[in-house]
Amino acid sequence: MNNPYYLTTPIYYVNAKPHLGHIYTTMLCDVMVQYQKLLGKDAMFLTGVDEHGDKIVKAAASASLSVQDYVDLISGEFQNVWKNLHIQNNDFIRTTEERHKKVVQNILQTLFDKGDIYLSQYEGYYCFGCERYLTEKEMDSEGKCPDHQIEPEIIKESNYFFKLQKYLPRWETMLKNNSNLIQPDQYYKEILGTIHELMKTGEDLSISRPVKRLQWGIPIPFDEQFVTYVWFDALVNYISALDYPDGEKFHTYWPQAHHMIAKDILKPHGIFWPAMLMAADIEIFQNLYVHGYWLGLNDLKMSKSMQNAFNPLDLIHSIGLDSFRYFLMKEMTFGSDSKFTDEALKNRLNQDLSNNLGNLIQRTLSMIKKYCNGNIPPKNPEMDYIIKPANLLSDASKNYHSCMQTFQFSKALDNILEIIDLLNKSIEEKKPWALAKTNDPELLPFLRLLMDGIGFCMHYMKPFLAEKFRLFTEITGLTVRENFPGKLQEILYNESLPENWEILFPRID
């Protein structure tokens, strides 16, 4: 296979149904995968669910279901949501699958045999929401977990530990030699700070739970009295889905692996996972990308544990999937937090899509219908000077691709919105209705340049507006020689428009 690209979401915890946070993360990845495919990459997209741990047992009991029936139910919910959202993942992994259990136990045994796992007693503050021990520094001023707003319990028990400290200096050196491994930069700096703190405390990683406290987990292969700690289990999904160690998919895709996570799980992915990979003699991922939170009431993170999440599917039914997808990708600056409000949604969609892009398309098609009897004017290279967007197009294309590669989708879209603004302003300046009255020879080439500019923008917005792109091509017959055209001369259309067409971007009220 040529040009492989491998992208993963975190595997989502099945103690509740999918919410906005899950959807945003997955849509980020889906947009990136569609973009990579348009570049000609062989893109592999993995998502899935984490089905082990204390919280799952408690959630199943609350639902009056067996644990297996419960995880089957919620796993199905996630898969149905991704199908309804047209998410194009290649694989969906569950941590209760045999293919996953086999790899987890393989790695555990390997690390135990080389002396990187040992039995010891530990006492600490355990957050059942995070399913891990917290340091005092990680708790807020009231001694609570900042993500779940609950006080951790003090637990003392024997467990198996992974020699995390053994690999921290090596990981720190790798990071200092390549600051792009973790992006954006604030999370790279946060991980370096966490590594420094961990090396001061000498803390290793607890990787098991005693069966007397938790039965629902992957058994430790060298001691039946313990099951695997949920994070050590869950992180392995990224390679178990590729049939590690001998699978063709592993050898093809893992060298080009990229992970997407939310910032609340930065420590496991930014410290535990690379240390585990080093211990198992597996090369490190290419990039770890970290996004912020969607904030709701009182600027609190939207999440199921905070009970302030809503069902985005209800909103999608009313405004359409493309509009919802566009809002999420444009409104949040990647890496930072953003507010999700009805007002922000309405303003963003009406300004960017209805007033700007939608109005440009509708006015241009209507003028061609009125002034050209619906016949799209032919190209006239001698009159390209009418708009002169060549430098802007070249710069916009270059900046767009630079932003897209690092998930800076909002900034990537800004480059295309700038061209849309230029085309709208050119209509007001050129006044094609006045040109029509005097049969000015600039009218037809001007309308054609508008169409070519629209076609250019629609191609660059395709990863975000796939359905609207399809509808526009049905109306106009838009085609290009390459998926991301570099010049207006590459834009091709049918000779004429249909009698009627659908308004692509109606206003949101």
The Cα–Cα gap between 311 and 507 comes to 22
Q: Which of 41, 102, 304, 401 is catalytic?
A: 304
Helix (H) or strand (E) holding 259: strand 257-262
Catalytic annotation present for 29: no
Catalytic annotation present for 330: no
Catalytic annotation present for 130: yes
Angle CA(122)–CA(187)–CA(160) in degrees, nearest 5?
20
The Cα–Cα gap between 458 and 227 comes to 52
Catalytic annotation present for 86: no
Residue 47 identity (one-letter amino acid): T
- Strand runs labelled E in 278-336: 287-291, 294-295
**Chain mean position to CA 332:** 12
Question: Residue 142 burial by CB count (10 A; 0-12/13-18/19+): exposed, middle or buried?
Answer: exposed
Q: Which among 154, 135, 155 has a CA at the least distance from the CA of 145?
A: 135
Catalytic annotation present for 148: yes
Helix (H) or strand (E) holding 208: strand 208-210
Q: Which of 29, 55, 130, 269 is catalytic?
A: 130
Which residues have C-beta within 8 Å of that of residue 14, sequence separation ≥ 6? 49, 50, 51, 56, 59, 70, 71, 74, 75, 78
Q: Which of 55, 100, 101, 127 is catalytic?
A: 127
Joined together, the tokens standing for residue 487 give 């010049």
Which residues have C-beta within 8 Å of that of residue 322, sequence separation ≥ 6? 464, 465, 466, 467, 468
Q: Which of 100, 249, 301, 462 is catalytic?
A: 301
Q: What CA–CA distances, in Å, run from 68 to 74, 94, 217, 357?
A: 10, 12, 12, 49
**Chain mean position to CA 51:** 21
Helix (H, G, I), strand (E, B) or coil at 215: coil
Q: Which of 17, 148, 251, 339 is catalytic?
A: 148
Q: Which among 401, 399, 396, 402 has a CA at the least distance from the CA of 419?
A: 396
The Cα–Cα gap between 288 and 271 comes to 11
Q: Which of 55, 101, 145, 462 is catalytic?
A: 145
- The conformation of residue 496, written as its DSSP 8-state character, comes to B
The answer to whether 11 touches 67, Cβ cutoff 8 Å, is no
- The conformation of residue 490, written as its DSSP 8-state character, comes to G
Question: Residue 314 burial by CB count (10 A; 0-12/13-18/19+): exposed, middle or buried?
Answer: exposed
In the chain the first and final C-alpha atoms are separated, in Å, by 47
- Catalytically active residues are 19, 22, 127, 130, 145, 148, 301, 304
